[in-house]
Structure 1
Amino acid sequence: MSGGDTDGSVTGGGASERLIRLLGGDEIAWLVDRARHRLEQGRPPTGTVTLTAATPAQRRAAEALLGRRAGAGSSLSVSLDEVDRILRASGVTADGLREAVVRLRGPIRDLSGEKAARTAAWERAFTRLDTLVANRPELSGWRSWLESTGLVRRLAATAGEARTLLDRLSAVLERLPSPGTPLGRLAAETCGDAHGLDEGRPLATLALSAARALSGLPYAGESGADARRSVWAAVGVHLDDLSSLVLCLGLPGDDRSPTGRMLNAARAAGEPCVLTLRQLRRHESPLPADLVRICENPVVVAAAADELGASCPPLICGGGRPSTAVWRLLDLLAAGGATFAYHGDFDWGGIAIASSVHERLGFQPWRFDAASYQAVPSSAPLSGQARPTPWDPALTVAMERRGVRVEEELVLAELIADLVPKRHGAES
């Protein structure tokens, strides 16, 4: 039995019938599929393919194609080079196995080319975002995190969808921090959809992780409503006038507005006062004060209220990244002639927060300089990107060399002692 039919007078129609008879059946489909897979990967249809646990019918189909016994045993091996030679020699296909695969299965896809095109499309999707990140080094770690987690690919099914999503994200990030901006207005102005940054939207998921990065927080972070509100507030964005808050103690008020009367009453009672952005926006006149101290953590305010009560001098808690309400209150005090003293956490996130306050209002450091940092025992490792400390350049150098963080709670007793009124009115 010779390999295939070598009658050279076969017509085109006859060749097609013989091709179907030799390679078109279900029992030999595995071989055609293996050849097609190699072609789609840009490889020639050569070498040997093996089918394990071949059925008797599959073995008979291979023997009919080859014109000989196809070995013994449970596996079946066929040389694609031999199949190519048989198809050419018999006149079934002029271009051998490649032509046979195309006629039986349709055009060969260029999988390597398609993969390269998809890769290029995904790279282009990040073009605007990567340009922005190149100028915002504080986002570089977050950008690497995006890549390693595959978050964008989970949120966008195609590179085209990703490009639209990331271009809108870039527009949002170009505006952050954005003090005093309502979330809906930010969404409307950056992506043409006032609800584009609503909870659960893909854009909101990405923007919130970037806002965490800008605030020195873990990129994944907590997902609750309070945590989300806090993160947006850290970059100056508020969800509404009632969700943006500021905590204060001992702040002088006035009798001209409800907010002023609230401050006076809280000061007389020695109790902390929480003000909303709505209340502060309705208070239009400056708040007169002398020295106002600013801390980062509410534990300082709580301890000061417990220890000093009504005798505590003006104290404001920034609560991490200042919210819009915090900025509004500080601006009202600055307009009233107040000066400021600042203390926060000795870590790079705390330094970033302090820098934003210093840039906007200026302050004198309140135990927030290199000497104070060096004086506090700590073994907690310092991580993150170093930042300048213009109020005391030596502080950055000291933190880089020592490499530990010092949280505000570790110096709570010293801070409270500073708040104790001095007999002659001197400030520490």
Structure 2
Amino acid sequence: MTKTRPPKSADPRLERLLGGPALAALRVRMRRHFERQDGNSKNSTLQLTKLMTTEHEALALLTGRPTRSTQSLKIDIDQLDATLRNAGIAGSLREALELLDGPIVNRAMAKNDLLVRWSSVTKADHLHPALSIWLQTAPAIGLLKRLARQDPDTANRQLERASAVLRRLPVKGLTRAQLAADLFGNAHALDNGQPAATLVLAVLQHGENDIARLQDAPEDTEGTERDARRPAERARDIWARAGVLVNELARPALFLNLPVHPDSAPLGTLGEPGYLSLRQLLRTPIAWSVANQAVYICENPNIVSIAADRLGSACAPLVCTDGMPAAAQRILLTQLAFAGARLLYHGDFDWPGLHIANYVMRLCGAQPWRFARDDYKRAIENAPHSERDLGDSRVEATWDQALTASMQRYGLAIAEEAVASPLLEDLSSTRSLF
């Protein structure tokens, strides 16, 4: 209900008859009668019940009826309109209520108007195509209305900004702050939580999910359920895949002896661990020379350190996720997969380790590396005896269901470092081509 008063002020007599805080609730009830009118039909009778004494007395004075001890009153609106006009107080009861509390908005018409305005928002043909496609999905309108606080005009502005960003993507290693400054003159316009940033991230993620579903087998009917099980991604990772840098120096990817094309700049010293930041991976794409070559992936940095100490330059290509991979690790693994590498993964034999392994294998198509049930059982035989230390929150190993069952039965977690010897045997027997 709009509280802005119209230019015309209420007659002092009207203020005395129906104004003031004591009759505010009564006026609200009377206004609702007119808010429900659609303009085509007119109900000239207003039935009011459960009236307080002060409210009944006010209505009695307004209508010229005697005051009675009753809680209900039926008002003939046409007759009351005539009474107010003849007295020179107001042109009608509706006008009187508007003079006291501001314009009365027809709810049905306002709702219909709002629906029409939202329809024009979602069907705008000048938006980026990916944004238009996303707007047709079930969650899109709810998110957009929340970000725009239910205002279609605000939603239009937010969509225009999101569309402007999408038209610039992908970029090649441009920082998010610079992208925001270039487009909107404000380096923080695409920070986490900003409406335009939220919309862009939703569109990018929706597009990636569509691609993932297309890559699944046509007869696969569990794609939606599988999407729901995917770990929630941080905004930085989604931006990174579009070439946008966010905290580009945080958590660089640890590697050892990754082969590159002879025309590319060497990656540090052969045999020594090195780091690749998200900034390097996106701004200066590397020509990887890994086609049909095994590239090993471990979960823990200690494995890289041990491999460098024991094998040095003779170690096969090795990448470390350092736990759940962050943006730099994800981009590196994806680049290696696209370059044709045969990726092999090993991690901790515990529930978090299986969770990470599931994600890495799905991310880049890696295969298990000494990470099956028989490998776990051999590790148990060689590990020092200890108390059961695996909790009840089991994780299914998507590549070997028997592994999960075996781990649950023995109840022992085996750190990756505890099985370093057989891993080093593989790393030393595979020769990289530099």
Query: What band does the TM-score fall into relative to the shorter chain?
Result: 0.5 to 0.7
Tell me, which stretches of 5 or more residues in structure 1 are unaligned?
Answer: 1-15, 356-364, 384-394
125, 130, 133: which is aligned to 1:132?
A: 130
3-state SS, counterpart of residue 204 of structure 1? helix
State the shift of 1:165 in Å.
0.8
User: Matched residues in 2 for 1:310 and 1:253: separation?
Assistant: 23
Aligned residue-pair number: 353
Q: Return the offset for 1:274.
A: 1.5
Equivalent position of 2:37 in the other structure: 42
* Partners of 1:410 and 1:45 in 2: CA distance: 82
Task: Provide the TM-score with structure 1 as the length reference.
Answer: 0.57
Separation in structure 2 between the aligned mates of residue 381 and residue 235 of structure 1, nearest angstrom: 31
Partner SS state of residue 295, structure 2: strand
Using the TM superposition, give the Cα deviation of residue 136 of structure 1 relative to its aligned residue in structure 2, in angstroms.
6.3
Give runs of aligned pairs for residues 61-80 of structure 1, distance below 5 A: 61-72=58-69, 76-80=71-75
Contact 2:174–2:245 (CA under 8 A) maintained in structure 1: yes
State how far apart, in whole Å, the 2-side matches of 1:287 and 1:263 are.
Answer: 16
For the aligned residue pairs, the C-alpha RMSD in angstroms reads 5.9
Counterpart Cα distance in 2 of 1:162 and 1:218: 30
2:199 counterpart of 1:198: no
The partner residue of 2:295 within 261, 282, 293 is: 293
Distance 1:160 1:135, change over 3 A: closer
Alignment of 1:35-114 (within 5 A): 35-42=30-37, 44-55=43-54, 58-72=55-69, 76-81=71-76, 84-85=78-79, 88=82, 92=85, 99-103=92-96, 105=98, 108-114=104-110
1:239-277: CA deviation from partner (whole Å, max 9, x where unpaired): 3764583321233689999x747332xx25xxx421335
Q: Which residue of 2 aligns with 1:115?
A: 111
- Local SS of the residue matching 1:248: strand
Supply the distance in 2 between the matched residues of 1:17 and 1:183 (Cα, whole angstroms): 59
Q: 1:111–1:186: structure 2 CA closer, same or farther, 3 Å change rule? A: same
Q: Could you tell me which of 151, 157, 182 is aligned with 1:164?
A: 157
Q: 2:7 matched to which residue of 1?
A: none
C-alpha contact 1:248 1:273 (8 A) present in aligned 2: yes
State whether residues 252 and 289 of structure 1, in contact with CA within 8 Å, keep that contact through their aligned partners in structure 2: yes
Counterpart code for 2:268: M
Is 1:380 matched up with 2:395?
yes
From 239, 244, 249, the counterpart of 2:246: 239
Matched residue SS, 2:66: coil
1:45 and 1:184 map into 2 onto residues whose CA distance is 61
Query: Which residue of the partner structure matches residue 361 of structure 1?
Result: none
**Counterpart contact for 1:181–1:237, Cα < 8 Å:** yes
**Partners of 1:340 and 1:314 in 2: how far apart?**
10
Give the conservation status (yes or no) of the 8 Å contact 1:250–1:310: no
Q: By how many angstroms is 1:63 displaced?
A: 3.0
1:36–1:255 CA distance, 2 compared to 1 (3 A) = closer
Give the conservation status (yes or no) of the 8 Å contact 1:320–1:350.
no
User: Are the structure 2 counterparts of residues 37 and 98 from structure 1 closer, same or farther at C-alpha, using a change threshold of 3 Å?
Assistant: farther
Q: Indicate conservation of the 8 Å contact 2:290/2:336, yes or no.
A: no
CA contact (8 A) 1:180 1:324 kept: no
Deviations 1:399-425 (A, max 9, x none): 9xxxx9x9xx99968998465247865
Q: Is the partner of 2:253 in helix, strand or coil?
A: strand
Distance of aligned partners of 1:308 and 1:108 in 2 relative to their CA distance in 1, 3 Å threshold? closer
1:328 positional shift: 11
Identity across the alignment (%): 23
Question: CA contact under 8 A between 1:280 and 1:328: conserved in structure 2?
Answer: no
Q: Any conservation in 2 of the 1:320–1:353 contact (CA below 8 Å)?
A: no
Paired residue for 2:364?
A: 354
C-alpha deviation, 1:39, in angstroms: 0.8
Structure 1 residue 102: deviation in Å? 2.0
The one-letter code sitting in structure 2 at the alignment partner of 1:353 is L
The answer on whether the counterparts of 1:241 and 1:277 sit within 8 Å (CA) in structure 2 is yes
Verify: 1:316 aligned to 2:323, yes or no: no
- On the 8 A contact 1:177/1:236 being kept in 2, the answer is yes
Is the Cα–Cα contact under 8 Å of residues 292 and 315 in structure 1 kept in the other structure?
A: no
Unmatched segments (≥5 aa) in structure 2: 1-9, 210-226, 346-355, 378-392, 408-412
Structure 2 counterpart of 1:159, one-letter code? P
TM-score by length of 2: 0.56
Give the direction of change, closer, same or farther, for the CA distance of 1:192–1:151 in structure 2 (3 Å limit): same
For 1:39-79, what per-residue CA distance to the aligned partner results, in whole angstroms no more than 9, with x for missing partners?
12227352421354323xx4443333444434316xx3220
Q: Which is worse superposed, 125-134 or 305-314?
A: 125-134
The reply to whether residue 248 of structure 1 matches residue 252 of structure 2 is: no
Give the equivalent residue in structure 1 for 2:269.
263
Q: Deviations over 1:1-40 (max 9, x none)?
A: xxxxxxxxxxxxxxx9999599656587765553332112
Distance 1:72 1:382 in 2: 77
Matching residue within 402, 420, 425 for 2:425: 420
Report the secondary structure of 2:30's partner residue. helix
Give the 5 Å matches for 1:317-356: 317=320, 319=325, 326=332, 330=336, 340-343=341-344, 347=358, 350=360, 353-354=363-364
